[in-house]
Amino acid sequence: MNAARATLYSSITEGLDEATRTGAVSLPTKLTMQLAACFAADQCARAVQLVWSAAGTSGIKTGSPLHRYFRDINTLSQHASKSLPRYESVGRIMFGVESDWPIFAL
């Protein structure tokens, strides 16, 4: 979790600093931020899944806070900006192929 947090915070700080200095965020910085967001979401989901698994059947009950956390984090990890296909979107650009994710054009 600490690696995911540090990576996300570092990339966001880099993007903010760049935007403040130049008025825009470069494509390489956007790619770094996208990868960091995907990595953080994935690692958070893995952490919640570990706790949920350890909880056993108490984690599957609708009234359990773990049930809600499990559902929420798995919903987040399916969001268009955090889902596994975004790794591919970044990779496409890194290999010089047009990306399927239009946010990088902004």
Q: Which of 18-22, 34-38, 59-63 has the lowest mean pLDDT?
A: 59-63
pLDDT of residue 104: 80
Q: pLDDT above 70 covers what percent of the chain?
A: 100
Domain tally, the chain: 1
Q: What's residue 63's pLDDT?
A: 84
- CATH no. for residue 30? 1.20.140.10
Return the structure tokens found at 104.
């990088």
Q: Determine how many CB atoms are found less than 10 A away from the CB of residue 68.
A: 11
User: pTM for the whole thing?
Assistant: 0.84
CB atoms within 10 A of CB 57: 7
Q: What is the mean pLDDT of residues 28-45?
A: 94
pLDDT at 80: 85
Q: Which residue range(s) make up the domain with 88?
A: 2-105
Average pLDDT over residues 2-9: 93
